[in-house]
Structure 1
Amino acid sequence: MALATPTRSTPPVGGVERPVRRRGTGGIAYLFLSPWIAGALLLTIGPMVASLYLSFTDYDLFSAPTWVGLENYRRMFTEDGRFLTSVWVTLKYVLLAVPLKLALALAVALLLNRTRSGQGLYRSAFYAPSLLGASVSIALVWRTLFGEGAGFERGLAALGWETGSWVGQPQYALFTLIFLAAWQFGAPMVIFLAGLKQIPTDLYDAVAVDGANRWQTFRAITLPMLSPVIFFNLVLETIHAFQAFTPAYVVSGGRGGPSDATLFYTLYLYQRGFTDFRMGYASAMAWMLLIVIAIVTAVIFRSARLWVFYTDDKGQS
């Protein structure tokens, strides 16, 4: 029977013995980390470095890349009108879809936060659309719903509003995708519910004694105490909105129509890379998207100090 080897320690310093780190344990740690390290190198870091190189080349997927320097980036802003259109469409989508989605999520979370019978069923029902994600099937259903002669058009016609197919109208097509994003508010709703549960009830009791109404209570207690959760959801949903692709691809048939009204940035990137075989140009667009998302995220983090309030362990902000 082998005896356990006692752990040596260094001479006491200040009356406290410091254990000596055993040799050879670092190799075991790297052995267990090797699958993650290999995945990061082969599936993330490697492709990122390759795409950065390709963004400075003219590459069509079939011949060797040709170095062109900053030509792809120059052409992007000076010669490509559809690129600027895709930027504008994506910005409108982000600025409209994200606030609407978060507002609906917070409103429903406030309703479901109250104790009532069957609240588990209600929470599951409101969360269910988020489980479907940006799936092709949901986008197809949405395209049919807002298509020619579909239920949405008939409903508006019954109210005296003849709009025609929203999918086929440039002035309405983008709103169909905004409504689809807002409809899938289940994920931020669950996070809002968790945040509402963490607000101390004695704060509500205090403002009730002062005679505050519901709106005053919401402004003075709920919003400030929920601001870290709002900040978290805002960052996540903004990043997801910039990366939206599947709904625009399916609803527009991969073209971004009508009249480029749904030409999302990611959809145009896909067209340039896999339809026009301009992979170098598409790589440059991908890196521009990464830079824009990083800048927008940094701005949100920078502004957080003005409107996000954190509490310490004693509940003081």
Structure 2
Amino acid sequence: MEPTFSVVIPTFNRAQLLARTVQAFLAQQGVSFELIVVDDGSSDPTPEVLAGFRDPRLRVLRQPNAGLAAARNAGLAQAQGRYVLFNDDDVVPEAGFLRAHLGLHQRYKGAAGVSRTYVPEALGHTPFTRFWRARAEAGVRGKADGAPLGWGGFWFTSLSLPLKLAEAFAPFRGYGWEEHELGWRLWRKGVRPRLVAGARAAHEDRVDLDTMLAKARSMGRVAWEFYRLHPSVQVAFWTGVHPLSRAYKRWAYPWARAESFLKQRDWEQGAGAFAIYRFLLEAAYTQGLLEGQGG
């Protein structure tokens, strides 16, 4: 009998986090599912960790390292459920997670369900962690279950949709925009992302400013790949590749000013830290846009 959900988890060298996520999924009750973990060429103890789970619902696929999109696509190709749920290896679901996703799909046919992820308090309270916690949760805070999230709502770490509507991810050459690009295609076909408020999951990724600046810069470069796949005015302004957007960003977020903030970080303890973090991320993204223009 086909499972209700195929949960696809790509992973690369995060054995400890993966173990927690797999264990939390295998503890889900009330919904039939298969758990497909795609090991994208890990060199850490990931294979041993996965071998320690003795559960017929768990299927492990292994491939040479090919990136997040390729790992997700490999899992999707093997999915047999009525719905597929893409979940990052550091997103640990709470009890009732799959039941909440099923409930949304029963109420909203043909929708995509976006999990209610949050940055747990256990990850700490450094100035940047507090900023990132507020930023990551701002888009869904106060929204009701089933609330529409708009075309930008496809930026996800955990999302479900009917398997018959699922499509492969574009293999971009770097971090960023993969979910948005898939979401853009789905949106144009009438698939709308909705919040699954009862599907709570802890996003256990430990972030820091330097890592997120590198990711923002990569997103700026990858924005061009997104635009070349979908060369429209909407995508140009959304990603910032439009000449008017780039001109504004170069003026508003000069990298020279960003470098001055990064050289001396005593401002991180001040009241204006969040505003400076936002500026730095925008400046890094702008640098990526300028670098990716000729790619």
TM-score bracket relative to the smaller structure: under 0.3
Indicate the structure (1 or 2) with the bigger Cα radius of gyration: 1
- Say which structure, 1 or 2, has more relative contact order (CA 8 Å, 6+ apart): 1
More helix by share: 1
Between Structure 1 and Structure 2, the one with more strand by share is 2
